[in-house]
A and B are shown apart, each in its own frame.
Chain A
Amino acid sequence: MKIIIEETNGEDEDEIIVRCRQLDEQLLQLIYNMRMKDEKIAGMYMNKIYLINPREIYYFEAVDNKVFIYGKDQVYESKQKLYEIETKFENTDFFRASKSVILNVAKIKNITPAFNGRFEALLFNGEKVIISRQYVSVLKQKLGL
Chain B
Amino acid sequence: MDKIRRIISSLFLRFCIVYTCISMIALLTVSERHLISQNIRMMYGIMILSVICAFGDLIEMSCREVSKRAALIRSILHYLYINIVVVSFGIYEEWFDYRNLMQMGLNFLSIAVIYWINSAVSYRIDRKEADQINKRLREYQKK
Contact = CB atoms under 8 A, between A and B. Distances in A.
B137 A105 contact: yes
Contacts of B122: 117
Interface string B38-75: 00000000000000000000001001011010011011
Secondary structure call for the B interface: helix
B37 to A, nearest CB: 42
A127 B134 CA distance: 17
Interface residues of B, number: 25
Contact of A119 (B74, B126, B140, B141): B126
A145 B65 contact: no
> How many interface residues does chain A have, given as a range?
20 to 34
Interface of B: 2-3, 60, 63, 65-66, 68, 71-72, 74-75, 122-123, 126-127, 129-130, 132-134, 136-137, 140-141, 143
Given A98-B65, A136-B133, 7 more contacts: A112-B130, A116-B74, A117-B60, A118-B71, A140-B136, A143-B136, A143-B140
